[in-house]
Structure 1
Amino acid sequence: MSVPLPGSFTYHAIDADGVTIHCAVGGDGPPVLLLHGYPQTHLIWHHVAPVLAARHTVVLADLRGYGDSAKPAPGAGQPEYAKRAMARDQLLVMRALGFDRFGVAGHDRGGRVGHRLALDAPGAVSALAVLDIVPTRHAFEHAGKEFGLGYFHWFFLAAGNGIPEHLIGADPEFWITARMNARHHGGTPFDPAAVAEYVRCFSDPAAVAASCAGYRAAAGVDLEHDEADAGRLIAAPLLALWGEHSFVGRSYDVLDVWRGYASDVRGRALPGDHYLPEERPELVAAALGEFFAGRR
């Protein structure tokens, strides 16, 4: 089937120190890296990327374990799916494409990878945009009943003994569409071609195992890395966007939280729920275009 990206974007398979990362590149100008979240692929940006490509070189990458990127078998402790490892993949991808300094925008898991990338390679990240998240460490430290009910998948996917892998693997299409439809509030409908691609990619048992490993890492090794960096602020300017109807929008003072993790924070709520690049693409593209304008 055809994917909903214009032909001006070209696809690449880039070796990031032994891990093949699948990405699309288009446009011209200062580089911007776009990172997706769970359970999608780079195609979550299919409305936004062509708009940004009018003034930027846009790189849309599948995170390791997702889409058509490599899916290393998870080991004990899930170090293969630590955000540090995933961030390094993307740094190597951008270097391979000739970019030593670039902007980053990440939704959901991709925002957490971007957060770690900005901490681990501050000289590479000129600006960071995070969509509908607060930092992982803050979320776990302030988790209660509402978090457990609203974000139950954090705990379900981190469960052991193969439980989430088995249950999701029995009907991945139901799991994906149920999660996405439950977190959509008006706006642009999901593109059926993009959803079909999410289902295709997530029907691979290795993708399910990798994504579960990523959530286990978030509750384990990622927290260890975050604790080691407690009090250290992101140096790059940070834009936070969130859905006014999302759990994040309802539960946190998003800008105040991020000011505990970054030195230069701005942002706002958008009318929508969690999947803002698909639900409110015109607003996301405008906000990112303004934020990244002139940054090198």
Structure 2
Amino acid sequence: MTFAIPGFDYQRVPVTDDVTLNVAVGGTGSPVVLLHGFPQTHLMWRHVAGDLATDHTVICPDLRGYGASDKPAARDVDTYSKRTMAADIVTLAGTLGHERFALAGHDRGALVAIRAGLDHPGTISHLAILDVLPTLDMWDILHGSSAAVAFHLYLMAQPPGLPEQMITASADAFFGYFLDLWARDPGAIPADVRAEYLRASRDAVDSIVADYRASAGIDIDHDRADRSAGNRLRMPVTVVQQDWGAALGYDAAALWHTWAAELEHHTTSVGHFMAEETPAEIIGVLRTLLAR
């Protein structure tokens, strides 16, 4: 593999009858699973993973539909639901010998991590969420002209066909737009890594769109059911995000407290790709969480 986390071993692990995940594993000690965001792969954790691997077993998969993992056709609304993707991660960890593990996710991976925490509370020991809101709250908060910042959510929420055609026709420009816009330090994603993210995304348009489309449908239903039932995250939770509360007019910490009782909430001044832009900050946050 040309692009790899130094010192990590790579393997392909089946998680369902038709989905095998590409995963990098390194270190020894209590297990930590790191889930990547959009439009990235597991490589976004390359700085953080090596540090954590000095005293933890660190597991960095490509999510289903991304990177070198399998990309099944979206047969139904569940194929790319966060519930299904969370089950992938629990199965992956179990296959590797870990029935209980800490979990950190960024962006799309954070949505998978939230769902894993809600669906598998006895399995997730600690939970770190980087720069997202729970799906249900995200759609409630976006409104009026402020929703323009999330135009891609609305595009990929449309029925199958047109979004895939439009993105495929200009894939590098589409995915590259977010890599450029969301990074306050563009140098944090070197040219070769950026090119790898674009290549991986270009090869996964249908599955990426299916992932986002699920977040405009079935994922909302799952979140709403949890809220109605009073289901909350039971493990220690740390949230790190840009100050979207100030930007979009809501109390971010209060919102998160409705989902997690044992919560640490932090805002950061760096860009969206914080694990690449300021890895030392994220390493510190994760190590503090793991010590709780």
Aligning the two structures, in what range does the TM-score lie when normalised by the shorter sequence? over 0.9
Residue 105 (structure 2) pairs with residue 102 (structure 1): no
Match of 2:161 in 1: 162
Partner of 2:251: 253
Q: Which amino acid aligns with 1:256?
A: A
Letter matched to residue 92 of structure 2: V
The superposition leaves residues 34-56 of structure 1 with CA deviations (integer Å, 9 ceiling, x where unpaired) of 00111111111111111111121
SS at match of 1:21: strand
Displacement of 1:249 after TM fit? 6.1
Amino acid paired to 2:283: A
Residue 55 of structure 1 is matched in structure 2 by: 55
Deviations 1:231-274 (A, max 9, x none): 21110110000124xx4663343221110011111021122121
Separation in 2, partners of 1:49, 1:93: 17
Gaps of 5+ in 2: none
Decide which of 211, 217, 222 is 1:220's aligned counterpart. 217
Q: Residue 132 of structure 1 contacts residue 249 of structure 1 at CA under 8 Å; is this kept in 2?
A: no
Q: What pairs with 1:77-226 in structure 2 (closer than 5 Å)?
A: 78-186=77-185, 189-204=188-203, 207-226=204-223
Question: Is the Cα contact below 8 Å between 1:27 and 1:54 reproduced in 2?
Answer: yes
Residue 194 (structure 1) shift: 2.0
Contact 1:243-1:249 at 8 Å conserved across structures: no
Aligned residue number for residue 265 of structure 2: 267
Shift of 1:83: 0.3
Instruction: Classify 1:121/1:172 alpha carbon distance in 2 versus 1 (closer, same or farther; 3 Å).
Output: same
TM-score, scaled relative to structure 2: 0.94
Aligned-residue offset at 1:145: 1.8
Deviation per residue, 1:142-167 (Å, 9 max, x gap): 22124421111111111224122112
State the Cα deviation string for residues 86-127 of structure 1 (Å, max 9, x = none): 000000000000000100000011111001001111110001
| Cα contact 1:242–1:248 (8 A) shared by 2 | no
Structure 1: stretches of 5+ with no match in the other structure: none
Q: How many residue pairs are counted as aligned between the two chains?
A: 288
Contact kept, 8 Å, 2:4 with 2:43, in 1: the verdict is yes
- TM-score, normalised on structure 1? 0.93
Opposite residue 30 of structure 1, the aligned amino acid is S
- Determine the C-alpha separation between the residues in 2 that align with 1:156 and 1:248: 23
Q: Give the 3-state SS of the residue equivalent to 1:263 in structure 2.
A: coil
The answer as to whether partners of 2:233 and 2:261 remain within 8 angstroms in 1 is yes
Q: Which runs of 4+ in 1 moved over 4 A?
A: none
Could you tell me how far 1:136 is from its partner in structure 2? 0.8
Q: For residue 69 of structure 1, what is the aligned residue in structure 2?
A: 69
Cα deviation 1:178-204 (Å, max 9, x = unaligned): 111111113752122322221121222
Say if 2:240 and 2:268, in contact at 8 Å, map to a contact too: yes
Separation of aligned partners in 2, 1:248 and 1:280: 21
CA RMSD of aligned residues (A): 1.6
Q: Distance in 1 between matches of 2:138 and 2:189?
A: 27
Q: Take 2:72 and 2:170, find their aligned partners in 1: how far apart are those partners?
A: 22
